[in-house]
Structure 1
Amino acid sequence: MHRAFETKFLRPDPDAVAPDGSAVRVLLRVRGGGVAHFELASGQTSVAVRHRTVEEIWYFLHGRGEVWRQRGEAEEVVAVSAGVCITIPLGTAFQFRVTGEEPLAAIGATIPPWPGRGEATVVSGPWEPTVRPGPT
């Protein structure tokens, strides 16, 4: 079976608002996973969420911030900036915020592909969110 190749440029405007409140630009997906661009503006803090069935890998492109992750007894806050790559394993609660003057942007790989509504659950995080959540 022949599958066509796909190529897509990053759109200037977001496609959606993620359940954590970040601006999302959907890129591409294949059977096993998908990739999107996420961004929070300067001074913003996301909503804390936990995914039900997906795990993610994020690679930060620009900006400075912090990411909180918690799963079971393990919990940490890590500083992020361009060049940092993190995982968000299945069942991990997470939240992120911008600590610098420019937006914080990352490319995220979601495995398996984002299934849609019902995937994210809002949870309690360490910081007060400054954005409104998108559909959970």
Structure 2
Amino acid sequence: MPELEQISTYYFDGQGKAIRPLIVILIARAMNFHMTGNSDLLNSQKRVALIIEMIHTASLIHDDVIDSADTRRGKPSVNALWGQKKSIFAGDFVISKGSQMLARLNSPTVISTLSEVSFQFNSIQYRQWK
């Protein structure tokens, strides 16, 4: 599915602020230092930061479809380039890949927390769009 991968990775070009993963990394380093005296990141912590950025990016893809946005971050939006249906599939694809990565962490606490954050975010977004 080369086209689906092309669409779903379009916003992962390093042009975003990436504030969410940065917050995860900073908190993880602080906690690691507090617990062990060493602030090195664990691979699982790096993955959580990546997963959070993936969930956020998927929400941007879906948001651009809902808003019929023509641009995002100064370039054409995914829906402007590939249309609404393909863009929705791409957003769903990013979420499913992130969910697979999340499940592989094998941490019920992390899975539960990220699921709840995602649910609350979507609930807030829905209320704003009504």
Structure with larger Rg: 2
TM-score band by shorter chain is under 0.3
Q: Which has the higher strand share?
A: 1
Higher relative contact order by CA 8 Å / sep ≥ 6: 1 or 2? 1
- Return the TM-score normalized by structure 2: 0.25
